[in-house]
Amino acid sequence: MLLYAQHKPINLLIGTYTNTGKSEGIYVYTFDLQTGDLTYKNKVVSENPSFLTFSPNKRFVYAVNELNKGKGATSAFSYDHDSGALTLLNQQLTEGDDPCNIVTDQTGKHVLVSNYSGGSLTVFGTKEDGSLTERQQLIVHQGSGPDKNRQEKAHVHSATFSPDHQFLLVQDLGTDRIAVYGYNELDNHKPVQLPVHSLVPASAGSGPRLVTFSKDKKYVYLIQEMKSAVTVYRYQQGQLTRVQEISMLSPTFKGAVGAADIHISPDGKFLYASNRGEANDIAIYSINPADGKLTYLKNQSVGGKGPRSFTIAPGGKYVLIANQYTNDVIVFERDSATGFLKNTGKKISVGAPVCLVFE
């Protein structure tokens, strides 16, 4: 039964920017874990649902909506696995401009939204039917960075729970810091604990974007959007200690940069990070399990432009890359021994895809 479960098709959800006129909202495809084939299943109309997340029980989907003039909202949907149907439950304003990331806690009782232009984190509760309550917390960051064009103020880009869910790591591109907050899932009204537990510096002008934890939970890997680099931190009980910083760029590359997404292979042996700008590639590293440090292996083309998001399929055989500016999702096969990727030639056309989430 387990073997069958690992190989039967699963659903992939794709968040998009609809303001290009080439997409309508969230798209649902089935993905065959054996062949790498993608088959259209369903969609729901939604305005600029640029980032998505499932509830822990997979019954609900939550999306950020980047509305006109930068205003932000969050939408809650019920989700049917068999049909792929998404049904809007309700929508709440984030009270922060340009929301760009969304997560739920492990209880499913809270939804947390990162507001880029608002420089803030919005916390909503959830009801039994999966719909969102009114805002429960709005945590506004202060500060700026050395790049006055992009770091004139705080720009909260993402929030990530520690493996034990006792802490919340909030990446701030505008202030070059990770703000670590205590988190109490038993507090139904203000789960994010104030004041801040610790403020972790990144390199000046680097633009922290996203983090991921190592498989053994001992290390945190930060992708820096403006510098196109990865910083490695040792992690222990809400404290981060810098271990290494390594470039995401090919040694011969010269051009505009813009790092985007970061993931670790299911076996914990390789780290992948995507470059936008003029590079349009994936940087691949091996991970030293003894100290968490990265060794650069190579950069590989993503087969399109603007790899805003990518995901590694369950089991680790395939990597799917969403190219925002060439309006496609491309399937790559991953060599589990070398970590390298091979373009399978399989792809789907989707307008401005910017988020890929397996159920």
227-231 contacts at long range (C-beta below 8 A, 24 or more positions apart): 227/203, 227/257, 227/259, 228/257, 228/258, 228/259, 228/275, 228/277, 228/279, 229/203, 229/259, 230/262, 230/271, 230/273, 230/283, 230/285, 230/294, 231/202, 231/203, 231/206
Q: Any alpha helices (H) in the chain, and if so which ranges?
A: 2-7
φ, ψ at 87 (rounded to 5°): -120, 120
Reported pTM? 0.96
CA–CA dist 275, 326 (Å, integer): 15
Per-residue pLDDT of 175-185, as tens digits, reads 999 999 999 99
Between β-strands 328-334 and 167-172, what pairing exists: parallel, antiparallel or unpaired?
A: unpaired
Structure-token pair, residue 61: 């989907």
φ, ψ at 337 (rounded to 5°): -85, -45
Per-residue pLDDT of 185-236, as tens digits, reads 999 999 999 999 999 999 999 999 999 999 999 999 999 999 999 999 999 9
CA–CA dist 336, 266 (Å, integer): 10
Predicted pLDDT at 3:
39
CA–CA dist 320, 245 (Å, integer): 26
Burial class, 275, CB count within 10 angstroms (exposed 0-12 / middle 13-18 / buried 19+):
buried
Closest listed residue to residue 88, CA positions, set 52, 148, 45? 45
Q: What is the pLDDT along the chain (359 residues), one digit of tens a residue?
A: 333 355 678 999 999 999 999 999 999 999 999 999 999 999 999 999 999 999 999 999 999 999 988 799 999 999 999 999 999 999 999 999 999 999 999 999 999 999 999 999 999 999 999 999 999 999 999 999 999 999 999 999 999 999 999 999 999 999 999 999 999 999 999 999 999 999 999 999 999 999 999 999 999 999 999 999 999 999 999 999 999 999 999 999 999 999 999 999 999 999 999 999 999 999 999 999 999 999 999 999 999 999 999 999 999 999 999 999 999 999 999 999 999 999 999 999 999 999 999 99
Predicted pLDDT at 4:
34
CA–CA dist 231, 2 (Å, integer): 37
CA–CA dist 79, 251 (Å, integer): 45
Structure-token pair, residue 76: 């809650």
Burial class, 295, CB count within 10 angstroms (exposed 0-12 / middle 13-18 / buried 19+):
exposed
CA–CA dist 123, 37 (Å, integer): 37
Predicted pLDDT at 7:
63
DSSP designation for 69: G
**CATH assignment of 2-358?**
2.130.10.10
